[in-house]
Every structure is written in structure tokens, then in C-alpha cells.
């Protein structure tokens, strides 16, 4: 393996130290702890793992994490009511609705009810528009923020770089394309209808894959000097919970200059970014309300 590893776990641990210290300094001054509310609807097993990871990480930082577990058959109106209660709760600074939600719940409708200051996933329309117009004030979706933080941490500026973003979901691909474009990259947004994907990826300086297909990116998609960021997560072995990314790490890491692994690359950065978003919201709340205990 010749590529340098973009180690998301290491970067997350380094940045968490300063986040932890910042939270402690607010607590010492008598402010309430930042609080993240995670709303889970139903009993999706994967969601339980993701929530438990966020809870463990958040609590290590000194954040209060509320897990609100609603039943599978709950009415959409009841979910909205819960979100509205969290909006008005002065002790809650961030709200996440964990995906996936049951089919009868319209996730886009529910997200719209989250107060945009508390929308720490950055998926509501006000935050999406902020990213679209590059307001500099909106909450950035966590994976997009995590990718940029990871690159910047290793001294990689996206300004002037050509980026091939593979995947155009509202959760990952589109916000990442917009964010990097806002930071000066020239982005090509690829999807299942892209013709001759290899030509696009070979032209790129930075290749980011968010498809969700193991070994989708092979040695034929890459060339020397490139930076490869693997967002994909596929659980390959249900018993061991072994995860793999989109990139054939073994062969691609022999060719490119930088590569993010799975696990241990973008995943930890995404969790970190949620809590960075929460801290941004918390500080706005403190500035507006000065909510001391
Ligand atoms: P998604 O909504 O299923 O989107 C997948 C995208 O891949 C779609 O835009 C799709 O194109 C595109 N695609 C499918 N086949 C393709 C092909 N042959 N060539 C080019 N593009 C193709 O998934 P997502 O929510 O964005 O997530 C993507 C992956 O990232 C998943 O593995 C997910 O688990 C992972 N993920 C990781 C993190 C993290 O923190 N590491 C966070 C979120 C998601 P169309 O639009 O044309 O269908």
C-alpha cells in the first residue's frame, strides 16, 4: 500500500479534545450542557447501533443526549407534536430524526418542522437553501462537513481542484457537491445515469464515492496523484457486522496518493460533525438567551 491514509478516527479524536474543553468551559461558567435530542421511530436495528454510537460519543464530549423512542405505528401528527415540543424546549439545542423512518411517516414533512437552528443534520429547507446560496450561516449536513474537515485537516484545500462526486442523494452527494463548490472546487456530480464514469473519475483530483456498492471503485477509476474519499458503508457480514466501503481499498491504495478507509474514514467524521453542528447551535442559543443554570 502506498497511499497516505486519511484517518477519520484519529482526526475525530483530536478535534473532540478541543470540543470537550469548550463544553467544559461553558459548564464551568454555569451554562447548561449542550443537549442533543435523537428521535427514533420504530425498531430498526441499524438505527439502534447508530444512535448508541452517537450517545456514547456525545456523552464522552460532555453533551446530554436524549433518546426519544417512538413506537413503529405512531401517527405522523404525533411525531410532529414531539418535534414541536423539542423546538420549544429551551434545554434542547439540537434535534435529529434518525433515518430510516417507517413508510407511513413522510420524513421530509417531519424534518420541515424542526426549528432550523436546532436542525443539526442540516436537512431542512432553510439550511439547504443556506448551503445553496452559500450564506455561510446554515448548518451543513454532517457527512459533507466531515469530508471537508477531513481533507482540510490533512492540508488538502479543495480550491481549484476538480472533484468527481459519485452519488447525488440529498443526504450526502448533493450537499457535498455544493459545499465543495462553495469552497472553490469544480465539481462533477455523477449518478447511475452517468455515461463513461471512468473518464470523469480519471480527470478528477479528488474522487468521492457515496454509492453503497462494495468494490464499486476499482483500479480502472483511479490514477496516481489522486485523493480518494470513500463514503460508502455496506455491512458485508451480518454476524460480525463487518463493513466495507465503495472502494476496492487493496488495489486503489496502491495507485493513489491519499485514501480514506472504511471503517475509520468518513464515518467517524460524520458523527463528529453532528456534534460540531450542535455546538454551533448551542453557541447561538447562549448568545441569544444566555441560558445559565
Ligand atoms: P443513496 O441515496 O442510495 O444514493 C446512492 C447514489 O449512488 C445515488 O445517487 C445513485 O444514483 C448513485 N449510484 C448508484 N449506482 C450508480 C452507478 N452505477 N454509477 C454512479 N452512481 C450510482 O445513498 P446515500 O444515502 O447517499 O448513501 C450512500 C452510501 O454512503 C451508503 O453506503 C451509505 O450507507 C453511506 N453513508 C455513509 C455515511 C458516513 O458517514 N460514512 C453517511 C451517509 C451515508 P441515482 O441518483 O441515479 O439513483
pLDDT value at residue 231: 98
Residue 293, pLDDT > 80, answer no
Ligand 1, residue 146: give the atom nearest the CA: 40
Q: What is the mean pLDDT of residues 13-37?
A: 97
Question: Tens digits of per-residue pLDDT, 254-283?
Answer: 999 999 999 999 999 999 999 999 999 999
Q: Ligand 1: residues whose CB is within 6 Å?
A: 143, 166-169, 171-173, 190-194, 197, 210-212, 231-234, 266-267, 270
Least Cα distance to 138 among 157, 121, 163 occurs for 121
- Give distance in angstroms: CA of 147 to centre of ligand 1: 15
Ligand 1 centre from 169 Cα, in Å? 6
Is 289's pLDDT higher than 90?
Answer: no
C-alpha 98/C-alpha 217 separation (Å) is 28
The residue whose CA is least distant from atom 19 of ligand 1 is 192
Q: Write down the pLDDT at residue 158.
A: 98
Tell me the per-residue pLDDT of 244-256, one tens digit each, with 9 for 90 and over. 999 999 999 999 9
What residue's CA is closest to ligand 1, atom 27? 210
150-208 residue pLDDT tens: 999 999 999 999 999 999 999 999 999 999 999 999 999 999 999 999 999 999 999 99
Q: Does the pLDDT of residue 233 top 70, yes or no?
A: yes
pLDDT digits (tens, 9 = 90+) for 65-117: 999 999 999 999 999 999 999 999 999 999 999 999 999 999 999 999 999 99
Ligand 1, pocket-test mutation among 147, 188, 212, most atoms within 8 A of CB: 212
Q: Ligand 1, from 12, 169, 245: best to mutate by most atoms within 8 Å of Cβ?
A: 169
Task: Answer whether 104's CB lies under 8 Å from 282's CB.
Answer: no
Nearest-10 crossing angle of helices 266-289, 142-153:
110
Q: Which residues are catalytic?
A: 54, 98, 121
Take atom 47 of ligand 1 and give the residue whose Cα is closest.
Answer: 192
Q: Which of 11, 164, 172, 232 to mutate to test the pocket of ligand 1 (most atoms within 8 A of CB)?
A: 172
Within the chain, residue ranges assigned H as helices are: 8-28, 45-61, 76-88, 107-112, 125-132, 142-153, 173-182, 197-203, 249-252, 266-289
> What pLDDT score was predicted for residue 291?
53
pLDDT tens for 204-220 read 999 999 999 999 999 99
Residue 247: strand, helix, or coil: strand
| Predicted pLDDT at 238 | 76
Residue 1 confidence (pLDDT): 67
pLDDT digits (tens, 9 = 90+) for 32-47: 999 999 999 999 988 9
Q: Supply the pLDDT for residue 46.
A: 85
Q: What is the DSSP string of 162-213?
A: EEEEE---TTTHHHHHHHHHHTT-EEEEE-TT-SSHHHHHHH-SEEEE-S--
Amino acid at each position: 500500500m502506498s497511499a497516505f491514509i486519511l484517518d477519520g478516527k484519529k482526526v475525530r479524536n483530536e478535534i473532540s479534545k478541543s470540543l470537550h474543553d469548550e463544553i467544559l468551559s461553558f459548564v464551568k461558567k454555569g451554562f447548561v450542557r449542550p443537549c442533543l435530542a435523537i428521535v427514533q421511530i420504530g425498531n430498526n436495528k441499524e438505527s439502534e447501533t447508530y444512535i448508541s454510537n452517537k450517545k456514547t460519543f456525545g456523552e464522552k464530549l460532555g453533551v446530554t443526549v436524549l433518546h426519544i423512542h417512538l413506537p413503529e405505528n405512531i401517527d405522523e401528527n404525533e411525531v410532529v407534536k414531539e418535534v414541536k415540543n423539542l423546538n420549544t424546549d429551551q434545554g434542547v439545542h439540537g434535534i435529529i430524526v434518525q433515518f430510516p423512518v417507517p413508510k407511513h411517516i413522510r420524513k421530509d414533512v417531519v424534518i420541515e418542522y424542526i426549528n432550523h437552528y436546532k436542525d443539526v443534520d442540516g436537512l431542512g429547507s432553510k439550511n439547504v437553501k443556506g448551503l445553496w446560496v452559500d450564506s455561510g450561516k446554515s448548518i451543513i449536513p454532517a457527512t459533507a462537513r466531515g469530508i471537508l474537515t477531513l481533507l482540510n485537516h490533512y492540508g488538502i484545500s479543495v480550491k481549484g481542484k476538480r472533484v468527481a462526486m459519485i452519488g447525488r442523494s440529498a443526504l450526502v452527494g448533493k450537499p457535498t457537491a455544493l459545499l465543495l463548490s462553495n469552497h472553490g472546487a469544480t465539481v462533477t456530480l455523477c449518478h447511475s445515469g452517468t455515461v463513461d464514469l471512468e473518464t470523469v473519475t480519471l480527470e478528477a483530483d479528488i474522487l468521492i464515492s457515496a454509492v453503497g456498492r462494495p468494490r464499486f471503485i476499482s483500479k480502472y477509476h483511479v490514477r496516481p496523484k489522486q485523493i480518494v474519499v470513500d463514503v460508502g458503508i455496506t455491512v458485508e457480514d451480518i454476524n460480525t457486522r463487518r463493513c466495507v466501503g465503495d472502494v476496492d481499498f487493496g488495489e486503489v491504495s496502491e495507485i493513489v496518493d491519499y485514501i480514506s478507509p472504511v471503517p475509520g474514514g468518513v464515518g467517524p467524521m460524520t458523527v463528529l460533525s453532528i456534534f460540531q453542528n450542535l455546538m454551533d447551535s448551542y453557541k447561538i442559543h447562549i448568545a441569544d438567551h444566555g441560558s445559565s443554570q
